[in-house]
Amino acid sequence: MKFVIVSKGDERSKTIKGTMKQYLTDFGLDYDEKYPDLVISVGGDGTFLEAFHRYIHCLKSTAFIGVHTGHLGFYADWVPDQVEKLIIEIAKTPFQIVEYPLLEVIIRSKSGGTEDKFLALNEATIKTAEGSVVFDVEIKGDHFETFRGDGLCVSTPSGSTAYNKALGGGIIHPSLEAIQLTEMASINNRVFRTIGSPLILPKHHTCLLKPLVDRSFLITIDHFTESYTNVKSIQCRVAKEQVRFARFKPFPFWDRVRDSFVTDDDSDSIKRSNS
């Protein structure tokens, strides 16, 4: 099996990368930066996003795993203390694969020509540095609303705990193939009206955003930001591609949500049950 390790670059992550690389090659695995079967990210969720985009060309044949060297992450969910156990698991066992949905974004220009296509693991956001954005929002080919405000966020289920959550979006279990549309400060008055609630769209329900006022748009795909002018439309839907995670132990999504946002202290529930 071929593997690669993407590190955040800080001393702790670099040391863990060094140890893992050494042991795994000692176990007979090959280090391959081009076409790895397994991509190990060492750092945080941001590092994992980086690793995902670096190996986006071989999603079909590659599985990902994340070790966190800071706080518990959603993608980086292995603690450094368990690294030795993980190394043995990787070297010995054929691993289980869990697949999560991705978001496909296609940006078309008014001048025609080529379109830009992206895959996002967390989300895409559309904002502007020039006041507010004004879009016609179409869902499945029908006009839904005209949005005016700071911007829109379209997220994947696994990205629902990231930016989407800060915008008041719901947390979606990644076994659901869906995307979520959340508003950033929509203007609601006699002239402009939007739904206000986050919308959750199933597979094949394409969401099309058509700018009504020409602006220079700041479009983010996960941790990347690109500036676009002359935008005709931004199309978002559940991608046909998926991201594959290598699973060596169960760590249910809702446990990760609880441990990240509510509590990771078991004594809390004991206290509650005694009171």
For the annotated binding site for NAD(+), the residues are 45-46, 122-123, 148, 150, 185
Provide, rounded to whole angstroms, the least separation between the CB of residue 41 and Mn ion.
Answer: 12
- When CB distances to Mn ion are compared, the closest residue is 46
Interface with ligand NAP includes 44 (CB under 6 A)?
Answer: yes
Interface with ligand NAP includes 123 (CB under 6 A)?
Answer: yes
- When CB distances to ligand NAP are compared, the closest residue is 46
Per the structure block, which two tokens stand in for 171? 């947390």
Residues 6+ apart with CB under 8 A from 30: 1, 2, 3
Nearer to ligand NAP, 29 or 39 (CB): 39
Contact 42, 69 (CB under 8 A): yes
Per the structure block, which two tokens stand in for 222? 């996960």
Q: Is 222 a catalytic residue?
A: no
Q: Which stretch binds ligand NAP (CB under 6 A): 29-37, 66-74, 185-193, 264-272?
A: 66-74
Provide, rounded to whole angstroms, the least separation between the CB of residue 122 and Mn ion.
Answer: 11
Residue 163 binds: one of Mn ion, ligand NAP, none (C-beta under 5 to 8 A by kind)? ligand NAP
Catalytic member of 30, 32, 37, 45: 45
Interface with ligand NAP includes 122 (CB under 6 A)?
Answer: yes
Nearer to ligand NAP, 82 or 230 (CB): 82
In whole angstroms, what is the distance from residue 20 CA to residue 86 CA?
9
Q: How many CA atoms lie within 13 A of 69 on its CB side?
A: 19
Interface with ligand NAP includes 222 (CB under 6 A)?
Answer: yes
- Identified binder of ligand NAP from the candidate list 80, 150, 223, 235, rule CB under 6 A: 223
Contacts to ligand NAP from residues 125-164, by CB under 6 A? 158-159, 161-163
- Identified binder of Mn ion from the candidate list 1, 15, 46, 56, rule CB under 5 A: 46
Contacts to ligand NAP from residues 86-115, by CB under 6 A? none
In whole angstroms, what is the distance from residue 192 CA to residue 153 CA?
19
Nearer to Mn ion, 134 or 167 (CB): 167
Q: Which residues bind ligand NAP (CB under 6 A)?
A: 44-46, 49, 70, 73-74, 122-123, 158-159, 161-163, 166, 222-223
Q: Which residues bind Mn ion (CB under 5 A)?
A: 44, 46
Please list the active-site residues. Answer: 45
